[in-house]
Structure 1
Amino acid sequence: MPDQPATPDAANERLARTLCCAVDGAGKPRHQIAREAGMHKDTLLRVIRGERPITLGEAARILEACGAPVRATLALVLAGHEALAAQWMHHEMGAFLDEFFSVIGRAILRKSGL
């Protein structure tokens, strides 16, 4: 069951909290994560505080800089499963789900002939 209703503001808040968790668990300084994500440190701070809306591209770059599985984390958060996203992002289950999404996507494309 999803954690919260799916509204744009609620989704952005869930994403901000999840990104904050990723940044906190990354084991590297925030300025380094911001640089690797291609943004200013102040922008990163506003994003993880929920003070600034974030695009999926920016979220993906932050997750990647944090070493978190991008597809799995974003899919779980956007589906309303923020707690699982936070729990699995630095766990082998997150890596498994990320690989699963990658493989299943390619298999669907191959079978559909696209």
Structure 2
Amino acid sequence: MIDMAMLSETQTRGDLARLLHTAVELSGRNRCEIARDTHIHKDALRRTLAGERSPSVGEALRILASAGMAPHAQLLLFLGAGGDLTTRWLQTDIANFFEELIGELPGALERVLGNQVHDVKPRWAKGTAHRVARLLADHIDELERKDAQLGDSHGIGVGGRHG
């Protein structure tokens, strides 16, 4: 069940303001540059970052992009997971991964599932998310094992010649 208090305008505006403010701060760019790039008046940007004004979706995307973030991923994370996780993921590879994943997923589902796309049940989402995360973790472990093997075999060869 969705907690409607978490969806209040005040709560949402404050969470989004914290996300956008943190993004701008992490970018290292000054607010005048961000305002100019996003075509938002500097006072409107200041009020948005302070949580006094709600940005449009386009404004939020432009602020995130101008700050060097993965804008679609950050906004989708904000809508789906809330402000805390989204803020923690700013300027990380996982945010960029999520941006690419979300961009590719609808088309991949249509290509792979074809007509079965209409048979997908919402109740499968949680299990699918955990399965994808496990698959990704296994893939990372495999790459690390291969890197270690390459490093060991390279190190033995070099050490044998020079040792």
In the alignment, which residue of structure 1 is the partner of 2:160? none
Say whether the 8 Å CA contact 1:89–1:95 is kept in structure 2. Answer: no
The one-letter code sitting in structure 2 at the alignment partner of 1:84 is: L
Higher relative contact order (Cα pairs below 8 Å, separated by 6+ residues): 1
In the alignment, which residue of structure 2 is the partner of 1:5? 6
Which deviates further from its counterpart, 11-20 or 78-87? 78-87
Shift of 1:55: 1.0
In the alignment, which residue of structure 2 is the partner of 1:55? 56
Runs (5+) with no aligned partner, structure 2: 118-163
Q: Name segments (4+ residues, structure 1) moved above 6 Å.
A: none
TM-score normalised over the length of structure 1: 0.86
Q: 1:107 to 1:44 in 2, by over 3 A?
A: same
The one-letter code sitting in structure 2 at the alignment partner of 1:107 is: A
Q: Provide the C-alpha distance between the structure 1 equivalents of 2:27 and 2:80, rounded to a whole number of angstroms.
A: 23
Shift of 1:109: 5.0
Say whether the 8 Å CA contact 1:22–1:89 is kept in structure 2. Answer: yes
Shift of 1:89: 1.6
RMSD: 2.1
In the alignment, which residue of structure 1 is the partner of 2:44? 43
Residue deviations 1:13-43, cap 9 Å, x none?
A: 1111100000000111110011111111111
The one-letter code sitting in structure 1 at the alignment partner of 2:73 is: A
Q: Provide the C-alpha distance between the structure 2 equivalents of 1:79 and 1:8, rounded to a whole number of angstroms.
A: 16
Shift of 1:82: 1.1
Say whether the 8 Å CA contact 1:5–1:80 is kept in structure 2. Answer: no
In the alignment, which residue of structure 2 is the partner of 1:83? 84
Larger radius of gyration: 2
Runs (5+) with no aligned partner, structure 1: none
TM-score normalised over the length of structure 2: 0.62
Superposed, which structure 2 residues align to 1:91-102 within 5 Å? 91-102=92-103
Counting matched residue pairs gives 111
What SS does structure 2 have at the residue aligned with 1:5?
A: helix
